[in-house]
Amino acid sequence: MRYLPLTKADRASMLETIGAGSVDDLYCDVPDGALLKEPVDLPHHLGEMQVERDMVKLAAKNMGTASAPSFLGAGAYRHHVPATVDYIIQRGEFLTAYTPYQPEIAQGTLQYLFEFQTQVASITNMDVANASMWDGATSCAEAVLMACRATRRKKAVLSGGLHPHYREVTETYCQYSDTELAGRDGHPEHQATADELDDLIDDQTACVVVQYPDVFGRLDDHTKLADACHAKGALLIVVFTEAVAFGAIKSPGSFGADIVCGEGQSIGNALGYGGPYVGLFATTSKLVRQMPGRLCGETVDQDGKRGFVLTLSTREQHIRREKATSNICTNSGLCSLAFTVHMSLLGEDGYRKLAAINHERAVKTADALDGVAGVEVVNDSFFNEFTVKLAKPAAEVVEALVARGIMGGVPLSRLYPNRDDLGAFMLVAATETNTDEDIAALAAALKEVLA
């Protein structure tokens, strides 16, 4: 087996040094009958060529977004990732490193984490960010738990504009911690106002969670809501699924948000059928010690040179055990590196221009679809994703579009399987990867399907 270097002679001489008769003897503590004498019932080892052949066959059964015009969003977005990103993250010193527990030989990881934290804090306009979470949905759940700890309250208000997966993960995380979740169902044709959410805040409310842009693609100024939260001692959590947006829209920090968290996949990371992704998590200096996850901080070494270390680990499970702020142990290291490299390539100009292109593509798509009979663009405002109301059930339309070689959008019935009132709606996202030809093809195919 090509990954296993020991030879028969090695094994024999090592067993002799150990003083054991066989490898099975080393398993002498395994209870009687539980030690298998033969390999389990699975295929035997394969060479690299055969494995690749098997896996390529599986891949070929799929229709990738690179091979068809694709307008899918709903929390994951197709963007162009510069070749440099994949080259850097495949360098063995990054790919095959562990958590930087020995900072003297992990300054590479630590310095990029410090840069990552600075980038995330900058685009959200918050004081500090952590070294990443598993994904946007788990970041949202951890933010709610953090708000409960920080306020010593047990109630959270979730806006109807929150992505259903984020809501479900938050419900799952909170279900055994006596945290009460309130909020109304969202609807693409009704956007909750700050006053409506304000009515749900009481003196036991730890936080209000809004998504910006929301799951239906809409934008809203949450300054008034932040004030309403703060007036009642609650925190405002702003969640996002599209990290490119902050290159074009006002930052959540400028609203007065206390925690800003969401999905960082859009920058540097492949769609990859949903994971691994990278959760971004930012907050105010005041709340930093309540934050979950790893943090990298600046310090000096014994020669007085600047260096970086993991810090404030007294919040974490390996020190605090059952009193830890979270059970999270790993972060999403390599995905945060991909984010950092891509963001470094973009810089201020590139990031803002990328966002402007995304908006322009979405406006063009919306204009094209608005001209199709049986399609109504629902949103008053959007960044690069919006909701359309169709004259036929959206799930059927999506299938009909696939038959024409186009992935036209995500039917809301996929995200809300138990909401009969949303069957006619579809989410459409457009990014810099969508060409004028893609947009024309989508409009033409929709015209056919809806005729």
Partner 1 sequence: MTFQTHTGNRGLVLEEKLIFEQGEAGRSGVDLPDPEPVKSRMGGLERDSDIGLPGLSEPQVVRHFTRLSQKNFGIDSGFFPLGSCTMKHNPRLNEKIARLPGIADLHPMQPESTVQGALELIDQCAHWLLVLTGMPAVAMSPASGAQGELCGMMAIRAALDARGENRRRVLVPESAHGTNPATAAACGFTVDSIPATADGRVDLAAFEAKLGDDVAGIMLTNPNTCGLFERDVRKIADLVHAAGGYFYCDGANFNAIVGRVRPADLGIDAMHINLHKTFSTPHGGGGPGSGPVVFSDALAPFAPIPYVVKTENGFHLVETADEKDGKKPFGRLKGFHGQMGMFVRALSYMKSHGADGLRQASGDAVLNANYLLARLKTKLSVAYPGYCMHEALFDDDFLKGTGVSTLDLAKAIIDEGFHPMTMYFPLVVHGALLIEPTETETKESIDQFCDAVLSLVAKAEAGDSEFFKNAPYLTPRRRLDETAAARKPVLRWTPANA
Say whether residue 339 binds partner 1 (CB under 8 A): no
Instruction: Tell whether omega for the bond before 213 is within 30 degrees of 0, i.e. cis.
Output: yes
User: Residues 341 to 380: which contact partner 1 by CB under 8 A?
Assistant: 341, 343-354, 356-357, 359-364, 366, 379-380
Min dist. Cβ of residue 106 to partner 1 (A): 6
Tokens of 440: 């024309």
Min dist. Cβ of residue 204 to partner 1 (A): 19
Beta bridge partners of 237: 209, 259
Min dist. Cβ of residue 86 to partner 1 (A): 7
Query: CA quadruple 215, 216, 222, 224: dihedral positive or negative?
Result: negative
User: Exposed, middle or buried, 210 (CB in 10 Å: 0-12/13-18/19+)?
Assistant: buried
The residue (of 57 and 203) whose beta carbon lies closer to partner 1 is: 57
The residue (of 54 and 202) whose beta carbon lies closer to partner 1 is: 54
Say whether residue 240 binds partner 1 (CB under 8 A): no
Min dist. Cβ of residue 258 to partner 1 (A): 16
Stretch that binds partner 1, among 154-162, 202-210, 216-224, 442-450 (CB under 8 A): 216-224
User: Residues 270 to 309: which contact partner 1 by CB under 8 A?
Assistant: 270-278, 288, 294-303, 305, 307-309
- The number of angstroms, rounded, from the C-alpha of 354 to the middle of its chain's C-alpha atoms is 19
How far, in Å, CA of 165 to CA of 88, rounded? 31
Say whether residue 132 binds partner 1 (CB under 8 A): yes
Min dist. Cβ of residue 31 to partner 1 (A): 5
Say whether residue 391 binds partner 1 (CB under 8 A): no
Query: CA quadruple 183, 184, 187, 191: dihedral positive or negative?
Result: negative
Say whether residue 75 binds partner 1 (CB under 8 A): yes
How far, in Å, CA of 180 to CA of 193, rounded? 22
Stretch that binds partner 1, among 153-161, 171-179, 197-205, 229-237 (CB under 8 A): 171-179
User: Residues 178 to 197: which contact partner 1 by CB under 8 A?
Assistant: 178
User: Exposed, middle or buried, 436 (CB in 10 Å: 0-12/13-18/19+)?
Assistant: exposed
Min dist. Cβ of residue 332 to partner 1 (A): 5
The residue (of 78 and 153) whose beta carbon lies closer to partner 1 is: 78
Query: What value, to the nearest 5°, has the Cα angle with vertex 434 and ends 428 and 437?
Result: 105
How far, in Å, CA of 96 to CA of 299, rounded? 25
The residue (of 57 and 152) whose beta carbon lies closer to partner 1 is: 57
How far, in Å, CA of 238 to CA of 245, rounded? 13
